[in-house]
Structure 1
Amino acid sequence: MGREVDVDRLEPDRRWNEKARHETSTQRLDRNWSSLLQELRVVQTGVQLLTGLLLTLPFHDGFEDLRAELRIVYLYTVACSIGATALLIAPIGIHRSMFRRHRLDVVVTTAHHLANAGILLLGLTLSGVMVLIFGAVLDLHAGIVAGLCTALGIVLCWLVLPVGLRALAGPPQSSQPADTDPDPAR
């Protein structure tokens, strides 16, 4: 789809999976797809509920009393929420359209990128919700501070921590024999 897969970069991972897990490339794709589906199941319900709640806000008493700035924040927030919902559900549609075409590699790779984009929009949505709540209850300045603190917390938990853990783990243990690995789930 426009971008070539760097096979040389993936080769050590493939060899490790064959050696340590005794799984074929197809089994690895099945495992990755199942893992990705589990992740999507965790986030989809919450995103859909949040989107539904955001969509009802303009129909509640008092919405018209929101300052113009908060209405703009609301529009951006609901747009991010709808975008997150669409991106996090899209892998299912892709799977349906690619079903029985023996291209699970395309499905898994595309779903991975869509999930990352959906999670990014979810983070923006959560930050926007904090701006709305604190802005409506206190003032716009408090809303901006709350939104920025939320964004910072999300970046720390969803990006910095995982990247740090990945760096601490070091490179994959492709040279270690499978029978000496104390944790085969790695």
Structure 2
Amino acid sequence: MKRADRNFAELLQELRVAQTGVQILFAFLLGLSFTDRFAALDATQRGIYIVTLVASALTGILLVAPVAMHRLLFQHGRKRDVVRIGHRMVVAGLCGLLATIVGGLLLVLDVVVGPTAAVGAAVVLTAAFAGLWGGPALRVWLRRESCELPQPGPENVRPAYSAHQATGSSSSP
């Protein structure tokens, strides 16, 4: 149970970092629709805006869900389930955060520099996310999977634990 408590505390700490970014992006996106310049967006830009706004809202939901689930299951002895399911929600929320950041960048750059440069920047940013978020974790995971534990040879084998060691007897067998 202590391990589940520690894992949940770590999960909450990670959520604090991710939720701040989502909340700022969501507020920006909500406010954007009330500006004068929003009326000048073309159909594609409005589509990008809507997809990005929805992705931001879903991301917020996914990142708050583990906390809500913990509250609903509080003191029911289900902490391991909360951590396991919460982990999946956070991973999905991080994917949503990626979509929200890339969508926001795509929208702003499409308005400022045009669609070609915006799409190029969005592709580069997506690759950077994949490389920096997933790349190191994937390398560690693959290295762990490919490493085999050393098999004990005669030089690495300890003598068996004997009953006379347990009793503190100093006599030889």
Q: Which TM bucket (shorter chain)? A: 0.7 to 0.9
Runs of 4+ in 1 over 2 A off after TM superposition: 165-173
Show the counterpart of 1:70: 45
Show the counterpart of 1:144: 119
| CA RMSD, Structure 1 to Structure 2 (Å) | 1.9
TM-score (norm 1): 0.76
What stretches of structure 1 of length at least 5 have no aligned partner? 1-25, 176-186
Aligned-pair distance for 1:33?
0.5
Aligned-pair distance for 1:169?
4.9
Aligned-pair distance for 1:172?
9.7
Deviation sequence 1:32-61 (CA, Å, 0-9, x none): 111111100111111111111111111011
Q: What is the alpha-carbon distance in structure 2 between the residues aligned to residue 66 and residue 140 of structure 1?
A: 12
Match of 1:57 among 32, 36, 40: 32
Deviation sequence 1:62-99 (CA, Å, 0-9, x none): 11111211110010011101110110011110000000
- Asked whether the 8 Å contact 1:129–1:147 carries over to 2, the reply is no
1:59 match: secondary structure: coil
Show the counterpart of 1:96: 71
Correspondence 1:33 to 2:5: no
Deviation sequence 1:91-123 (CA, Å, 0-9, x none): 110000000101101110110010011000100
Q: What is the alpha-carbon distance in structure 2 between the residues aligned to residue 140 and residue 71 of structure 1?
A: 13
- Asked whether the 8 Å contact 1:29–1:108 carries over to 2, the reply is yes
- Asked whether the 8 Å contact 1:78–1:125 carries over to 2, the reply is yes
1:62 match: secondary structure: helix
More relative contact order, 1 or 2 (CA 8 Å, 6+ apart): 1
Q: What is the alpha-carbon distance in structure 2 between the residues aligned to residue 86 and residue 104 of structure 1?
A: 20
Instruction: Give the count of matched residue pairs.
Output: 150
Show the counterpart of 2:85: 110
Correspondence 1:81 to 2:56: yes
TM-score (norm 2): 0.81
Show the counterpart of 2:166: none
1:120 match: secondary structure: helix
Opposite residue 121 of structure 1, the aligned amino acid is: G
Q: What is the alpha-carbon distance in structure 1 between the residues aligned to residue 138 and residue 125 of structure 2?
A: 19
